[in-house]
Amino acid sequence: MNLRRPAALALTCAAALLALTGCGSKGAATAASAPAPTTTALSTPAAVTADEHANHTTLKVAAGATVSIQLHGTYWSAVSSSAGDVLASVGAPTTAPSPSCRPGGGCGTVTTSFTARTAGTAHLTASRTACGEALNCSPDQRSYDVTVEVTG
């Protein structure tokens, strides 16, 4: 009986090997006859996120890209686009308070997202007057302005 088990095992393995070889040949033929992939998937526009460090800079994105502005501090107004036909708002801004922040402290983030719709230039702007509880912002901390150049 011990001799039959190894023989049966060998036959099972041989059958499995033949089946795999057949699948491999078929797969290779299918892959060789398949059309070459296009670059469409590779050129999918990216998502870009900017914060206060991007203030007074220019971002360049492709049409179809998502541009999100995430400003730290919940005292910021929602970011708005100067050209809705170029950069269209996606939904309402979201506010995420910091877990360790006391109410009214202004800790957390305000995020607004836009879709780059067509080639052109738009400014994304926001403002604030308070930089903390009972703390007015200095003039250079009150406004946010990023230029976005969308390429077709």
So what's the pLDDT on residue 105?
A: 74
Residue 96 CA: distances (Å) to CA of 93, 101, 122, 128, 149 = 10, 11, 26, 17, 28
Contact yes or no for 64/98 (Cβ under 8 A): no
pLDDT in tens, the chain (152 residues): 444 444 443 434 444 333 333 333 333 333 344 444 332 233 456 899 999 999 999 999 999 999 999 999 888 999 999 999 999 999 999 988 787 777 767 888 999 999 999 999 999 999 999 887 778 999 999 999 999 999 98
Q: Where are the domains of the chain?
A: 1-34, 47-151
pTM beyond 0.85: the answer is: no
- What pLDDT is attached to residue 101? 75
Give the pLDDT confidence score for residue 18 in this predicted structure. Answer: 37
Question: Which pLDDT belongs to residue 77?
Answer: 92
Say how far apart CA 89 and CA 18 lie, in whole Å.
58
Residue 57 neighbours by CB under 8 Å, 6+ apart: 50, 146, 147
Residue 104, phi-psi category: left (phi > 0), alpha (psi -120 to 50), beta (remainder)? left
Distance, CA of 113 to chain centre: 10
Class of the 47-151 domain? mainly beta
- CA–CA gap between residue 15 and residue 33 (Å, rounded): 27
Q: What pLDDT, on a 0 to 100 scale, did the predictor assign at position 12?
A: 40
